[in-house]
Amino acid sequence: MRRRTRAISFWCGYGEVLALVVAFIATLGSLYLSEIVGFVPCKLCWYQRILMYPITLIVLVGILKNEKHLPAYILPFSIIGIGVSTYHYLIQLGLYGQPAGCVVGIPCNVRYVNYFGFVTIPLLALIAFIAITVIALAVRWACDKSNELEAVDVA
């Protein structure tokens, strides 16, 4: 029971900060790759950015305002981001053909980064979206449990 209480305390206290760190690193990483390294984002990369960048701001504002419903605000962005990143990664693996929108400009199957033969930019984005989703769900669970425990203690 003590471990569970510590887990609840950790996720309720620090989970949002952890989500902010993940989103901030993903945002800085994408800006670094495009603005400093010079990689031009494809259309699906732009969609992933459109979903990741607001998470950073929403979590930051939610932390500053002590918003108790913060996971509900970021989960739609992160879950849709999982879908877009997965689709993009599958295109890069050759499991799906290029959509018509990816033919114009930078093709979506271009691998600017290819560590270990499989780690690409869409996979990194997918990992970040999954991490943010798991953290948001853990925070939601922990804070709900914390509220339940407080209600029992009061009664």
Q: What is the pLDDT of residue 155?
A: 47
- Give the model's pLDDT for residue 50: 95
Spatial separation of the C-alpha atoms in residues 39 and 35, rounded to whole Å = 7
| 24 contacts 133 by C-beta, under 8 angstroms | no
What's the predicted TM-score (pTM) here?
0.87
Q: Report the alpha-carbon distance of residue 126 to residue 10 in Å, rounded.
A: 24
pLDDT of the residue at 119: 82
Strand partners, 119: 115
d(CA 36, CA 102): 23
User: Residue 144's pLDDT is what?
Assistant: 76
CATH number corresponding to 2-154 = 1.20.1550.10
pLDDT of residue 95: 83
Q: Tell me if residue 119 falls in helix, strand or coil.
A: strand
- Mean pLDDT for back-to-back runs of 10 residues, the chain (155 residues): 73 88 95 88 89 96 91 95 94 80 72 76 94 94 73 53
pLDDT, position 61: 95
Distance CA 112, CA 121 (A): 8
